Structure 1
Amino acid sequence: MYSFYSQIIDILTTPPGNLTYHLVLAFAAAGALQGALLHWRQSEFPQGRRMVIGLGLLLVGRAILFVGAGLVWQGLTPPQTLLPILDRTITILGIILIIWLWCFPEPLQVADMASILLGFVALAIAIFSYVWGLTQTSGVPSNAVWFNSLWEGAALFILILGIALILIRRPNGWVYGFVMLGVMTCGHVFQFFFPSAASDFPGIVRLAQIAAYPLLFTLPQRFAPTESSSTPVSSPQHASYVHKRQQYNLDPALLDDIVSISPEVPLADLQLTVTKLASQIMLADLCLLISPPDEMGTIEIICGYDLIREEFLSGLSLPGDQLPLLSTAIQREQSLRLPASSTSQDFRNLSKLLRLGRIGHLLAAPCIFSHVEQKTGLILLSPYSNRSWGKVDQKYLSRFTEVIQKALSRNSETPKLREQLEQARQIIISAKADLEEAKLYGQALQTKLDISQEEIKTLQEVSQEIERLQQKQTETYETIANLEVDKKQLEEQLEEFNEQASIASDEQLQRELQLALEEIARLKNILVESDQKIGQIKTQSKQKQFLDRIKASAERIGGLLDTVLEKAAINIEELTLAPSAVDLSDAIDYAITEVSEHIWKKRISMRVDLADNLPKLHTDEDSLRQILINLLKNASDVTPAEGEIFIRARLYDEYSEQSFAFIQVADQGGGISVEDLPRVFSQLYKNNTNIKGIGGQGIELSVVKALVETQQGRIWVDSQEGVGAAFSLLLPLADDERDA
């Protein structure tokens, strides 16, 4: 007997006999997966999807182990390097998946997370075992080392935990699961206490798996849908009703109830109506309307309807964690369908809450009361008829909730449209009234407009008169400014004439000029005071009188100026000069020094060009200095900032009987026009005209001309418009210089 046992173990652990082991387990997992897929397609229960996932992972693990065994058989990888650890890892992961499939057919977050955690622990132990095996001496069988006991102990712990869970939860078909786990536990117990020390693989464990894995075929069968197989829980008098009723109730009277659904109905009555309609149309034993968990995690059963007893159910509440599947479905607005065989705690807690032995099959669909933005779920139960719900029923219920939502939305829009229509009517009435009022107001404005035409014309005339006065005001300001300048210029001219022409003794002429200037100042003050009252039209004639008087005073000053100039010329001609030999270079240096401050302020450059060994002049030294100072002052006045002034001196002997010195002062003042050249050395202010290109008051040049001619000299001016003017003069040389 022991020899037979040893032969079987050897076949299952060594190639090519171990191919039988891999094929049996792979075909068992594949067959169960095919049944789960078929069940899922037919029912679309969540249990079917979980079975497909679990059996698919189990089949993948067996396929990986089968490929590893094939590589070892072909000698492509050492038998003791990876395959023993991979075999034990796939075995423990398979145990975890099998317990997960049998004990938790419905989604349970705690169980799912615990299963994933155990899987990661198994992978960590596998990695540790592999790293430890690389450091050990090869040739020692895996069953003879200590980590074999570690693996078997872990497997036994998980199997015992699974058996305890299956006994506590007792899901549908739990006996098959209990037997499967029990057989696998026996194999691991034998391997733990009596390992085959000469082998790398647990042969007795493989034998137990071959015996247990075919029970996977019963997994899809435990949730096979049944239309009506069980005895109703309610009293026997309901049996005849259960077997005679149709699939759906198409009573036309229900259409009237659907049409009557309106948001104007109180919410509580509306909810009762919806549960009654759903129960009657779907022929459901019970219909419940529940809300999702609130902030406190409490689920409220708002109301319900019992079709068998034809009575409404009152509201109830319970913690949200007692109905995990329903809570999740309502929050996500998803449909849910569970068979009566479900082991979900939703079934157990609903049974206790409704005081039913069982609740039968369950069908749920989201139902939103859009007019109050309330999210709820319709729950159909079949505790009496045990009617199962298929995919067609699920679509029918979803369609029913959509019809309810559309009816509420459409009916909720009707009062809004009526309100908007009434508001539009009121707006039209108000607009008509406003239009009539606007017409009356327009007529009144037209009347006022006609009356005000003459006033507008008068205002326009007044406005034009004000503009004219304002323009006159501007001209007055300009006249005043010009008079200020004239006054200053006249004062300067008077002072210069007193100094240059020696007319200080003419007290009568000074008194007359002073009186004329005072009269101009007095009239200017009066004009300014009257200008402050420019808004009064009557001041215009007074301003004209003042301006005429100022003009007369200015003409009087002009005449006095002519008299001054004539007298200055006469006085200059009568001057007693003291000619002597004068060094021209010294006179030029003296004149430049006198005007240097003015030249420095304008940053004007002086260019002096004197001939070598220039002879001395026969002239009055003070007069020569005054001539040069006046010419340089005129040049500096007209030359722009950073410009240049040229002074040249040469010997001029064109005349055989007498020799002269040629002196020239050139500026960059833009030149003098041809029309103004004849008036350069005459009175500047005659006829109120100024000469462009002449600086100061112009009187200096008249003085220069008189002084030059008094000393038997000659002066003239050359001009280039846009460039500048050059004043040239000839003065006689000293007698000894002429003889030389």
Structure 2
Amino acid sequence: MILSEAISLLTSTPGSLVYHLTLAMTLALLFSLAHMFRVQSESPLSIRWCLAAGGLLTARLTLMAIAGMTWLLLVEGNQLLPPMDRFVSVAGIMVFFWALLSTQPHRPGNLSLLIALGLGLLGVIANIVELYVNGIVNPFNSTLADAAWSLAGLFVALSAAITMIMRRPPQWYLSLGGFSLLTAGYALHMTLGPKDSSLAGFVRWAEFGAYPLFTLAATRALALARPVSSALAQEATMERSPALGPSRFEILAEIIPLINAEKTSDLATSIVKSLAASMRAELCLLLTAPDPSGQFTIATAYDLIRERHLPGAALDSKNCPVITTALTRHRSLRLPAGSKSPDVQTLQAKLNIESIGPSLLVPLIAEEEVQGGVMLLSPYTRRPWRAEDQAVMEQVASHLAQRLLQLTRTAMLATRRTVSRNKILSEAQRRIDTLEQAIAHLTAQLQPNPDAQGLDQSENLSALLETHKEALETIQVLEAEIERLKATVREGMLNMPPEEIERKPDKYQMAIRELHEIRARLAAAEAGMNSADRRNPGSLPDIEVIASIAKELRQSMSSIIEYTDLLLGETVGMLGATQRNFIEHVRSAIEKMEGLADNLLQITAVETSKFSLTPEPVDLLQCIEEAVTKASAALRDKKLALRMDLPDQIPPVIGEEGVIVQIVAHLLNNAIGASPEGEEIIIAARIQEAEEAEFIMLTISDAGDGIPIEDLGRVFQRVEPADYAPIPGLGNSTMGLSIIQELSEAIGGRIWFDSEVGIGSTFTILMPVTDSSRHEMNNKNEG
């Protein structure tokens, strides 16, 4: 499943466009670098790479153009694209093999490449003619032509990899990595490639990884090559200027790995070290941008002679006016060895050296804003910096400044997400505090009563207390997990940075303190509830107050669930595995408490005879749709199928819309809870005629284990003893089903169930039809 989805990413129309554009841009970059080296030195290696990159780029652009015209239905590409795609892939392996194998001209190798490419072109023409003559009978991947191209590609890639190991030309390890990826790609295509497609997905993924490796190998080989003509020119220049610096391409090869740094601190330390080595500078400083008050710092520095990083230092515009002016005006600066400016004296004091020697300052500018500056010093050899060095550094600085800006923006975005997450957690904590206050107020209002009504409410509160106990058990499990994590952290302390070692215990201690606080609050709530049970029976508590508090509880719990869903959705930042487990436990406990609050609200309404209905015609189909919408998330989580068998016309029933929706939703949730994953739930309805009235019979069937015979009498039981086990085959509590029974009777209907062990259960609700709809149905039947 995962392999097929990965293959379809690059063989579908959008994925093919990304594939062609990426490889074309990689080859264009390689061609540009080779052309610049050719202009500089006219070396055979640069000419070889210009031919290789230019030829492959032309082939890729041609293939992309044909794919685009096929997508626009301008040409029939099903006969052209598969053979040409295979040829360009195999030709790419052969051309890279030819370019990487030798740095000098080799006539037999050139002739062999031309012959191989000519044979490949003949094969492409033969495949295209065959497809046009015979037509497309099967996808190209299932043809002998695909097998021949795959064997050819596998043979060339494997031969190239073996040759790289045996001869070890320059940058052979990078070349070996690319050819190994291509070998694996062709092998996977031949063994696991889909036969119902015409494109080679595995080969395309292999090219995605191999082409950048070939480009990097070529860049390093070109930068390190020293042709004879270039060496003579360099010796002539050395007579005039013995302090000749490196070329911009050498520096480019040095800074390419820096672009992949993920942290600003890592990038900063790598910049000063790499530039000091490539520019032959004894000291390299990285300066921050001056703030509005003129304050800036030496972020980091590197001493090439001692091979160590130097600590930073604070600077300001008063002590370094020349440097500040150059940075704010986006200008480079060269200071001679004998400069008497206060900048030189300040740097000598901060770096604790007698003289800084000649210095070169280049600002880091991105999007017309200064991000800082790089300063090269030569305090020991006192080598002067030339205009060529300044030009090279300015080009390199533009790339470094862009990467610094990207990392700075990423860090700022992460900070904003952290602040937003902290705000949401604070709001959730405030809601929890409000909820706990409401629970305490509710506990104070409730008193035991010897009659049945008081017994029911006391049992409902006992259920709430039971949920609290479950929460305490969950907290104990989490505490044990934290202790295990602390032990793991202690074992790995030796491999951690010092600052991480200092922060880890604080994080876990904070988590433990929070758990203890929650545990203390739950214990206080439990104690308050026990004290309420021990009070002497008095007058019945104000039921309206209890109902009001229950509504507030539901609102607070719903708000907390929304916040937990927001956190679990990671819209405000990524969550760790432990954090996600904590939040899921909180959400599960709140959902249980919300269900108990709903039961309490319904019981107070029904038992006090203040549950009044306004009978009116209700669209049953709309109620069913609303209930299904509410339960859609649970259906998706358990991968359950829902089948509805309903008449074409359902007459309105007598009742109240909210009550009917609640009945259907509760029974649907019961079926979801009882059914195993991947099963089917059935909702059916039919019209039941009688002498005096008509009814709608609605059934909801699950695919659960069924209810045992000995437990049939407990299904609609309001109060369950504490030592009774849950009823098998039910997906909901008996208290909730008893409430649904009373609601069904309140609208003039009836509810019952049928169950068979091993097959499932069916709950049936009988609801009366309005008189007007009954007459309309009779008239239609008579007509």
TM-score surpassing 0.5?
Answer: no
Greater RCO (Cα-Cα under 8 Å, separation 6 or more): 1
Structure-2-length-normalised TM-score? 0.29
Structure whose CA Rg is larger: 1
Structure-1-length-normalised TM-score? 0.30
